[in-house]
Chains A and B, each alone.
Chain A
Amino acid sequence: MLIIVSTWFVYLFVILSYFYVIIHVVYKVGDVLLPGDVFSFQMPESITDSKPEKVVCGPGLRRNGDEVLVCKSGILRHKQPNLYWIDSQQRRYVPGKGESVIGIITAKSGDIFKVDVGGSEQASLSYLAFEGATKRNRPNVQVGDLVYSQFIIANKDMEPELVCIDSCGRANGMGVFGAGGLLFKVSLGLVRRLLAPQSEIAKDLEKMFPFEIVVGMNGRVWVKSKTIQQTLIVANLLESCENMTAQQRQTLFRRVADGSI
């Protein structure tokens, strides 16, 4: 059974590489693989002749000369026509360029804010990276505020940098938020599932009761509902439906919806 993740998630991480495929039945899609496994796989049923094929390696796979190595432990996934990747569980966030995250302002120093995004270093956010901010008109940001922002520089050699505007200079939903509500942490896999366009979890949640939600790619989720009780219910549901199958999840949601008024 495959849970197909949306294309935007894949394209953010894709390392394109091309090689010729040898039909070699060793691993099937859906197998658990460990780092160091040399990856060979069964071709899809439609292509049975040994013609060379282009295969795209997604996250967790790396080309090593003529073979493909697995770098992360997880389940092998496949997306038509030729995309393979490893679906792995992770809670530790590694900043990546272009990702939108929820950060907490920890310090103001000079022209920049220091933001905690849950990575190994704090990211920096400039004063001028807000909509309508100029040197005279400073944004109203205090230490401890929540910001929803995007990475423009995120790699292992430099300090990560965030901005709260897009390339046109508009806020586009980013900036300071969070008067009230609850911020909690989930795993990265759940966050990706929530953010997928046809997310079932999000659809199930919507049926419960109205609430506001902000989801950051660093595993942080902020929820706000009419009453504190409802907010807590949503937070608990999200934290617990991580390892459930769709069936179990729907039963749980129905039980809670019936139980609450």
Chain B
Amino acid sequence: MSVRNWDEKLLSDLAILMVFVRLLLYSTIGNVIVQDSVYTKHVCLSLLVMIVVVLPTLVESSDCKSLDICEKFKCFSPCVCIHLSLPAGDRLCSTEDCMPGTGVYLRHGYIYSSLAGYVLRKNEGEELPVISVVRETEAQLLPDVGAIVTCKVTSINPRFAKVHILYVGSTPLKDRFRGTIRKEDVRATEKDRVETYKSFRPGDIVLAKVISLGDVQSNYLLTTAENELGVVVAHSEAGAQMVPISWCEMQCPRTHAKEFRKVARVQPEYLQA
């Protein structure tokens, strides 16, 4: 259906509705009050109802050159995806004004919202501003293939280690994603002779790289098969934080006991005393 037809249909529906409302009011109030005052009251009521219900649609149906009006209305009614009787979402503006971003779609030369959320308008210089609808004001950062993530080991198994991903790069995540480090992805050499118990322990903080996003049910697949990846912080069985002494050993400063881990070679500029 074209935009014009949609507007006319709405207006015609409303007109029919108004007739019924008028009849109802007239029939209920008509008997009680003097004829003149009933008529005026009746007219005022119906006019008020018309203004409140019809005005938003009238505003939308005109080409809203300034988006400010639309945004003002967003305060009263947030961008709802689907109206009760309409197949389209909230219309934001036309393609001549803005470029579509995320959470919107194009239809018949206008931009509609497809999400329930907040309208974001970004000015990008000479080009048209980009309009998008987001659920939350801050964007969620997701681990991507090849990203370096910081994670915490939750459980180990002879075949793999399960981890919780805490940071992507240097941004903390709001939710904890799950990851798996398989036995053959722990290091690059002698993959079949790896023992998970000698590489990680529950509670260790590990730097890893994402190699796959995984399926619906499986977790992110991570690898530590590089010199710079591996265990960064680990606690000994006595409870003290251990000091790395080689790529495969860490020592507890209190008991001087050595434990095996796959240690990450952190660049000196990232180390803090």
Interface residues of chain A, those whose CB is within 8 Å of chain B, are 15, 17-18, 62-65, 153, 155, 157-158, 161
Instruction: Name the interface residues of B200-256: CB closer than 8 Å to any CB of A.
Output: 201-202, 238, 254-256
Contacts of A62 in B (CB 8 A): 238, 255
Question: Closest A-chain residue to B253, C-beta based?
Answer: A65
**In the bound complex, what is the Cα–Cα distance between A214 and B119 (angstroms)?**
77
Return the contact of A158 from the options B156, B254, B255, B256 (Cβ within 8 A). Answer: B156
Tell me the complex Cα distance, A155–B156, Å.
Answer: 11
Q: B95 an interface residue at 8 Å Cβ cutoff?
A: no
The reply to whether B254 and A65 form a contact with Cβ atoms under 8 Å apart is yes
Whether B197 is near chain A, meaning CB under 8 Å from some CB there, is yes
Q: A15-B257, A62-B255, A153-B158 are in contact. List 4 more A-B contacts (CB 8 A).
A: A15-B255, A17-B257, A155-B197, A161-B158
State in angstroms the CA–CA spacing of A62 and B238 once bound together.
Answer: 9
Query: Would you give the shortest CB distance from A240 to chain B, in whole angstroms?
Result: 37
Residues from chain A with a CB closer than 8 A to the CB of B255 are 15, 17, 62-64
> What bracket does the count of chain B residues touching chain A fall in?
10 to 19
- CB neighbours of B257 from chain A (8 A): 15, 17, 63
Find out whether the CB atom of B238 lies under 8 angstroms from the CB atom of A158: no
Chain B residues near A17 (CB-CB < 8 A): 255-257
The smallest beta-carbon distance between B122 and chain A, in angstroms, is 49
Residues in B whose Cβ lies below 8 Å from that of A65: 254
Q: Are A157 and B256 in contact (CB under 8 A)?
A: no
The distance in angstroms between the C-alpha atoms of A40 and B255, with both chains bound, is: 16
Please tell me if B12 contacts chain A, counting CB pairs below 8 Å.
Answer: no
> How long is the Cα–Cα vector from A95 to B238 in the complex, in angstroms?
19
Nearest Cβ on chain A to B225's Cβ, whole angstroms: 22
Given A158-B156, A158-B158, A161-B158; A153-B197 close (CB under 8 Å) = yes
The answer, among B197, B238, B254, for a CB contact under 8 Å with A157, is B197
Give the Cβ gap from B253 to chain A, nearest Cβ, in Å: 8
B202 touches A157 (CB 8 A): yes
Write out the residue numbers on chain B whose beta carbons fall within 8 Å of the beta carbon of A63: 254-257
In the bound complex, residues from chain A placing their C-beta under 8 Å from that of B197 are 153, 155, 157-158
Complex CA–CA separation, A157 to B155 (angstroms): 7
Interface flag for B189 (CB, 8 Å): no
B87 CB to closest chain A CB (Å) equals: 53
Tell me, rounded to whole Å, the shortest Cβ–Cβ distance linking A163 to chain B.
Answer: 13
- Chain B contacts for A18, CB-based, 8 A: 256
Chain A residues lying within 8 Å of B155, measured Cβ to Cβ, are: 157
Q: What are 16 A-B contacts with C-beta separation under 8 Å? A: A15-B257, A17-B256, A62-B238, A62-B255, A63-B254, A63-B255, A64-B254, A153-B197, A155-B197, A157-B155, A157-B202, A158-B156, A158-B157, A158-B158, A158-B196, A161-B158
* A-chain residues with CB within 8 Å of residue B238 when the two chains form the complex: 62, 64
Instruction: Tell me the complex Cα distance, A62–B237, Å.
Output: 11
- Which of chain B's residues has its CB closest to A155's CB? B197
Q: What are the residues of chain A within 8 A of B201 when measuring CB–CB?
A: 157
9 shortest interchain CB distances as A-B pairs: A63-B255, A157-B156, A157-B202, A17-B256, A65-B254, A64-B254, A158-B156, A157-B201, A155-B197
CB nearest neighbor in A for B155 = A157
Within 149-185 of B, Cβ neighbours of A (below 8 Å) are at 155-158
Closest chain A residue to B237, Cβ basis = A156
Q: How far is the CA of A225 from the CA of B229 in the complex (A)?
A: 60
Bound-state CA distance A64–B253 (Å) is: 9
Q: Which residues of chain A are within 8 angstroms of B256 by Cβ–Cβ distance? A: 17-18, 63
Q: Quick one: closest A residue to B255, CB to CB?
A: A63
Contacts of A158 in B (CB 8 A): 156-158, 196-197
* Interchain nearest-CB distance for A80 vs B (Å): 24
In Å, the complex CA distance between A17 and B238 comes to 14
Shortest distance from the beta carbon of A76 to any chain B beta carbon, whole Å: 19
Query: A18–B197 Cα gap in the complex (Å)?
Result: 25
Q: For residue A155, which residues in chain B have a CB less than 8 angstroms away from its CB?
A: 197
CB distance from A165 to the nearest CB of B (A): 17
Shortest CB-to-CB span from B167 to chain A, Å, is 24
Please name all residues of chain A whose beta carbon is closer than 8 Å to the beta carbon of B156 when the two chains form the complex.
157-158
Cα-based distance from A18 to B157 in the complex (angstroms)? 33
Q: Which residues of B contact A157 (CB under 8 A)?
A: 155-156, 197, 201-202
Distance in Å from the Cβ of A94 to the closest Cβ of chain B? 13
For B153, the closest partner residue in chain A by CB is A157
B202 surroundings in chain A (CB, below 8 A) = 157
Q: How far is the CA of A5 from the CA of B157 in the complex (A)?
A: 35
State the CA gap A215–B238 with chains docked (Å).
Answer: 32
Nearest Cβ on chain B to A199's Cβ, whole angstroms: 31
CA distance A104 to B112 in the complex (A): 68
Shortest C-beta distance, B241 to chain A (Å), equals 14
Smallest CB separation, B152 vs chain A (Å):
14
Q: How far is the CB of B198 from chain A (nearest CB, A)?
A: 10
Q: How far apart are A68's CB and chain B's nearest CB, in angstroms?
A: 10
